[in-house]
Amino acid sequence: VTLSLTPVRGVPLIKPGDNLAQLILDALVRAGFILTDGDILVLAQKIVSKSEGRLVCLRDVIPSPRAEELALVTQKDPRFIELVLRESKEVLRTRPGTIVVEHKHGFVCANAGIDHSNVSGTDGMDGDEWFLLLPEDSDASARHLRDMIRQLTGLEVGILIIDSHGRAWRLGTVGIAIGIAGLPGLVDLRGTQDLFGYTLKVTMVAAADELAAAASLVMGQAAEGTPVVHVRGFPYPLREAELDELIRPHEMDMFR
Amino acid sequence: VTLSLTPVRGVPLIKPGDNLAQLILDALVRAGFILTDGDILVLAQKIVSKSEGRLVCLRDVIPSPRAEELALVTQKDPRFIELVLRESKEVLRTRPGTIVVEHKHGFVCANAGIDHSNVSGTDGMDGDEWFLLLPEDSDASARHLRDMIRQLTGLEVGILIIDSHGRAWRLGTVGIAIGIAGLPGLVDLRGTQDLFGYTLKVTMVAAADELAAAASLVMGQAAEGTPVVHVRGFPYPLREAELDELIRPHEMDMFR
């Protein structure tokens, strides 16, 4: 009944085109992990995006008039804002230093999840102007990794891709699910009973987000060297799921 | 380097006036845990509030005109709304079925964190109209427990009191810190370097909230029987802290 989360040391720096599943399995073997059915692997978004080549150089970006306008408000590079707009459905808030959007995948976050990326060591990609977009379809990325691992090992593992988000009313970032395969996003406890036989009416647990936060704690932020966390003891049954079940529909959103 | 979270079985149902520290230590011993310096105990808010007698019966509550008014909007019992208002600084949103407030402790949540409480088995407190308020001062409750455990065992442990909150843009609840003693709320990684020697500029990690989410996953919701989680392997140095460091100041709040 113990939930244990262990960073997987020795995953190499990931480059566009790398076979992420194979590299992770190799690192697990070298680190002495014995993967079993029902284990979950949590991956930092960065390595998934890098393996998928989601790098963009600002030199190649031509900002739209709207990007120029929001760049003034946010005091950010208009080419960066252009990237944010291309990845977003809607801009929710802009302030000096901040742009909060609804990402095209449905979740609300700063900068559309786009990070400055240090690409030193990647051939032909030197310089300070590279940025990393989120995966084109993080659920699909998670499913692909899950399928690859099944193919290479015969094992059924869950895959969770996470990012770090700020929150509306609290300081600091927390790990959050952006792509899932083979584990529940939400767990619906409505109708189950507590110790007293009192039937729960409203409890839906964001289990994938809770696991994302837990794994993020273990990954740390400064060390890009442990972007994979091995999880054993996830307390709910594994099942097929999509990130969408964690996204609050617009009509239930009171804070847009 | 493994973070492990284990529910502590056998904590009895808590009643007002119970010595929580002693009951938890007893349960730890019976369950075979060997507590050591640097371990963290995560407690569900419910058992802390119950031990502190934070139960209120609706029969004893007289709603104010403002509570009557908000009860119409939210379609809730005006006496319940009265309790919510007494625990709050400000009402942020009201909708049928929902009231979101800034709790007097500073965090934003639904219903001021007040839950219906089944008090069966508690002498003289039968009936369906009992509600449980958050601790009067959750940081003080956490410090008190930490001090009691130090006194009883000589050990330095961290104490984290958690609740489950909804989020503005995502579905499902996640565990969240409401009181801390002896562990950091925020971890400031600004100025540290990543693998490439690139200095991080903005990363503040809400470590206590990430741990709260992790522990909440292990506690489950339906089973009030595992309201205590034992944590080993928290990756950041323990230190004195207050919940306040996790609360976003009003002037930085874009979503009020």
Closest by Cβ to A172, choosing from B5, B205, B234: B205
* Res B197: pLDDT: 58
Q: Which residues of B touch A186 (CB under 8 A)?
A: 171-172
DSSP-derived secondary structure letter, B53 = T
Is the pLDDT assigned to residue B26 strictly greater than 90?
Answer: yes
Helices (H), B87-231: 138-153, 207-219
Contact A135, A49 (CB under 8 A): yes
For residue A224, the chain B residues in CB contact (below 8 A) are: 194-196
Residues of B with Cβ-Cβ distance to A173 under 8 angstroms: 203-206
CB-based contacts of B221, cutoff 8 Å, min separation 6? A189, A200, A203, A205, B164, B173
Are B89 and B104 in contact by the 8 Å Cβ rule? The answer is yes
Length of chain A: 256
Give pLDDT, residue A147.
98
ipTM of the prediction: 0.94
SS3 for A25-66 is HHHHHHCCCCCCCCCEEEEEHHHHHHHCCCEEEHHHCCCCHH
Judged by CB atoms closer than 8 Å, whether chains meet at A93 and B255 is answered as: yes
B59 touches chain A (CB under 8 A): no
Residues of chain B positioned with their CB less than 8 A from the CB of A252: 171
Average pLDDT over residues B121-142: 84
What is the band of B202 on the pLDDT scale with cuts at 50, 70, 90?
low
d(C-alpha B217, C-alpha B228), whole Å: 12
Asked whether the beta carbons of B171 and A135 are under 8 A apart, the reply is no
Which chain A residues touch B211 with a CB distance below 8 Å?
214, 217
Tell me the pairing of strands A40-44 and A158-165: parallel
Q: Name the pTM for this structure.
A: 0.94
- Tell me the pLDDT tens digit for each residue of A109-120: 999 999 987 665
> Are the Cβ atoms of B4 and A7 closer than 8 angstroms?
no
Is residue A198 over pLDDT 60? no
Q: Provide DSSP, B206-245.
A: -HHHHHHHHHHHHH-SS-TT--EEEEE--SS------GGG
Confidence of residue A194 (pLDDT cuts 50, 70, 90): low
Specify the pairing of strand B88-95 against strand B98-103.
antiparallel
Residue A239: pLDDT above 80? yes
Closest CA–CA distance from residue B33 to any residue of chain A (Å): 12
Q: Give the model confidence (pLDDT) of A36-63 as tens digits.
A: 999 999 999 999 999 999 999 999 999 9
Chain A residues 80-99 with CB within 8 Å of chain B:
93, 95, 98
A146-186 per-position pLDDT tens digit: 999 999 999 999 999 999 999 999 999 999 999 999 999 99
Task: Give the nearest partner residue to A168 out of B6, B164, B255, using CB atoms.
Answer: B255
For residue A13, the chain B residues in CB contact (below 8 A) are 195
DSSP state, B135? P
Q: Does A120 touch chain B (CB under 8 A)?
A: yes
Q: A199 pLDDT exceeds 80?
A: no
Average pLDDT, chain A: 91
Express as a percent the part of chain B with pLDDT over 70: 89
- Mapping DSSP to helix (H, G, I), strand (E, B) and coil, where does residue B91 land? strand
pLDDT exceeds cutoff 80 at B127: no
Q: How far is CA A60 from CA A79, A116, B196, in A?
A: 9, 15, 24
Question: With contact defined as beta carbons under 8 Å apart, do A54 and A133 qualify?
Answer: yes
Q: What is the DSSP letter of B250?
A: G
* Shortest distance, CA B206 to any CA of chain A (angstroms): 4
Among the partner-chain residues A6, A207, A220, the one whose CB lies closest to the CB of B2 is A6
Question: What one-character-per-residue DSSP string does chain A give?
Answer: --EEEEE-TTPPPP-TT--HHHHHHHHHHHTT----TT-EEEEEHHHHHHHTT-EEEGGG----HHHHHHHHHHTS-HHHHHHHHHTEEEEEEEETTEEEEEETTS-EEEGGG-EE---TTSTT--SS-EEEPPPSSHHHHHHHHHHHHHHHH----EEEEEEEE--SSB-SBEEEEEEEESS-SSEE-TT-B-TTSPBPSS-EE-HHHHHHHHHHHHH-SS-TT--EEEEE--SS------GGGGBPPGGG-S--
The confidence score (pLDDT) of residue A128 equals: 73
Backbone angles phi, psi at B135, to 5 degrees: -55, 150
Nearest CB neighbour to A120, from listed B189, B196, B210 = B196
Alpha carbons B53 and B44: distance in angstroms, whole number: 15
pLDDT above 80: residue B119:
no
pLDDT at A75 over 60: yes
pLDDT digit string, tens, across residues A115-144: 987 665 566 666 678 999 999 999 999 999
How would residue B81 be classed by pLDDT, with cut points 50, 70 and 90? very high
Query: What's the confidence (pLDDT) of residue B51?
Result: 97
The percent of residues above 90 in pLDDT, for chain B, comes to 83
Decide if B196 and A224 are in contact by the 8 Å CB cutoff. Answer: yes
The answer to whether residue A223 neighbours chain B at the CB level (below 8 Å) is yes
Encoding tokens for residue A122?
A: 């990647």
pLDDT surpasses 80 at B126: no
Question: What is residue B162's three-state secondary structure?
Answer: strand
Strand, helix or coil at B168? coil
- Model confidence band, residue B203 (pLDDT cutoffs 50, 70, 90): confident
Residue with tokens 């007097």, as numbered in its chain: B104
Per-residue model confidence (pLDDT) at position B116: 86
Q: Which residues from chain A sit within 8 angstroms of residue B189, using beta carbons?
A: 220-222
Q: What is the pLDDT of residues B35-59, one digit of tens each?
A: 999 999 999 999 999 999 999 999 9
- Quote the CA–CA distance of B222 and A204 in Å, as a whole number: 11
Q: Work out the minimum CA distance from A15 to partner chain B, whole angstroms.
A: 14
